[in-house]
Structure 1
């Protein structure tokens, strides 16, 4: 594996690894990050790692969302509808890794960031500093990384609709109340708690960890095809005038930069809604 450029890998022990997202300015998911994570997963399986902890080097942005600036990616996706998108494949693989995965959430995790969290086994949030949401409806798009499939089992049908229809953020306390995260902790206690839990899991027998993961997955996972369908629907929406209208205005206002747009995205998307028949199409 070559040296990663979007994340840092720390091997605390042979069986306990930490992946720290580090892709300035706001920790966007892109094709490079997806490939680097896939390489980490391969290495972890080969090394018989028992637990991976995911956190962020940026206390303000865990993972802001997917990089929406890659026009060549949209062209490729639309030209090859038979392919499973690499990020969909990555999230499916993450859910099924034969080891334990933990997200330690400090900062903003929206869109693809929220979808990454949902694909991990356990989620723990800073009570004061975690911000989690699916804002895509405000951009006239469906969330592509599978929250419509993963969320109902965690938060229920009604709260899933609240999150996906409303496009609003959850703070750490509300995320715990809804069941999105295992628990929220005071920010000063988060790092110590997740490190202690990860270290404890790493001390146990690997085959037992694999067996637990296997049987829980049988009871809880939906068919993989559902995730491809959602990602296909996302990319189809990106090609429509309504999404392009909102995206254009958001980029002009500071999207994908350290800006108030990224800090309060659910508010900003409502300012630029597309109205068919207006002078601006």
Structure 2
């Protein structure tokens, strides 16, 4: 794999690391590699815990690569859900008969946020984690699950605030809202996450599978909630005014290391200014 590495300290524990320089954008190749990972996990009777982490301390998963042409995705055969390849991956990750954990150090926005929302547990570095759904600032509604998953996690009001406000959330505020399970001081983060996944991976895999069978139907959105959201997203991103806002962000440095990606919630809101003023 070009973007993902998988280490297996034990047969029951997989540590999956994202490394798509320079800022861990999600693109078609990411989907291809995650599909392969999911298929391997579905076929493995020993794995009990999958930990997702990043090789980049500043970016867990920045967001979708807006320059990606989707060609690699289109080459994928239909998955068992029958849905768009990205939705197929996220749905299958959420339903794996294992515990999935996102160890969030750095920025995770847009589609990156929707990825971590599809995992069972989200731990965040108190000082380094930044989460957000910035899409509304560009004129579109999040399309890969946030409108379905966030209300179930944080409640209606806070979900609308997170998405409509399109602002960045630090680790502490994300914890307070329920966006993440827990914010941990960065100095203790690696030890805490490793201790947790090691502990759970030693438990009976059958018990973990049974737990997910009980919890999933009560907490996961119905699969049919997702396609209309993605269709609305694709329709919106083709609008001239949305393309203009995104274009202004690219002019300022979108998708490159620097101040725009560091403070994307702020700069995305500025792009709403149709005069093009950077402020």
TM-score (norm 1): 0.91
- Partner residue of 1:43 out of 40, 44, 47: 40
Q: Deviations over 1:40-90 (max 9, x none)?
A: 1211222221100001000000100001113466xx8xxxxxx73211111
Q: Deviations over 1:189-218 (max 9, x none)?
A: 111111111111111111111110011001
For structure 2, which runs of at least 5 residues remain unmatched after alignment?
A: 75-81
- Partner Cα separation in structure 2 for residue 224 and residue 36 of structure 1: 22
Q: What is aligned with 2:56?
A: 58
The alpha-carbon deviation at position 111 of structure 1 amounts to 0.3
Preserved contact between residue 245 and residue 274 of structure 1 (Cα < 8 Å): no
- Partner Cα separation in structure 2 for residue 273 and residue 147 of structure 1: 21
- Partner Cα separation in structure 2 for residue 133 and residue 222 of structure 1: 20
Q: What is aligned with 1:9?
A: 6
Q: What is aligned with 1:79?
A: none
Q: Deviations over 1:240-274 (max 9, x none)?
A: 01210011111111111102111111111222226
Q: Deviations over 1:201-236 (max 9, x none)?
A: 111111111110011001111211111111111111
Q: The residue matched to 2:108 in structure 1 has which SS? A: strand
Q: The residue matched to 1:207 in structure 2 has which SS? A: helix
Q: What is aligned with 1:170?
A: 169
Q: Report 1:61-76 matches (<5 A).
A: 61-71=59-69
Question: Is 1:212 matched up with 2:223?
Answer: no
- Partner Cα separation in structure 2 for residue 208 and residue 116 of structure 1: 25
- Partner Cα separation in structure 2 for residue 272 and residue 175 of structure 1: 25
Preserved contact between residue 127 and residue 172 of structure 1 (Cα < 8 Å): yes
Question: Is 1:265 matched up with 2:267?
Answer: no
Aligned residues: 266
Q: What is aligned with 2:78?
A: none
TM-score (norm 2): 0.92
The alpha-carbon deviation at position 15 of structure 1 amounts to 0.8
- Partner Cα separation in structure 2 for residue 40 and residue 167 of structure 1: 31
Q: What is aligned with 1:32?
A: 29
Q: The residue matched to 1:132 in structure 2 has which SS? A: strand
Q: Tell me how large the CA RMSD over aligned residues is.
A: 1.6
Preserved contact between residue 242 and residue 274 of structure 1 (Cα < 8 Å): no
- Partner Cα separation in structure 2 for residue 199 and residue 266 of structure 1: 35
- Partner Cα separation in structure 2 for residue 72 and residue 125 of structure 1: 30
Q: Report 1:57-136 matches (<5 A).
A: 57-71=55-69, 84-136=83-135
Q: What is aligned with 2:249?
A: 250
Preserved contact between residue 14 and residue 47 of structure 1 (Cα < 8 Å): no
- Partner Cα separation in structure 1 for residue 21 and residue 2 of structure 2: 10
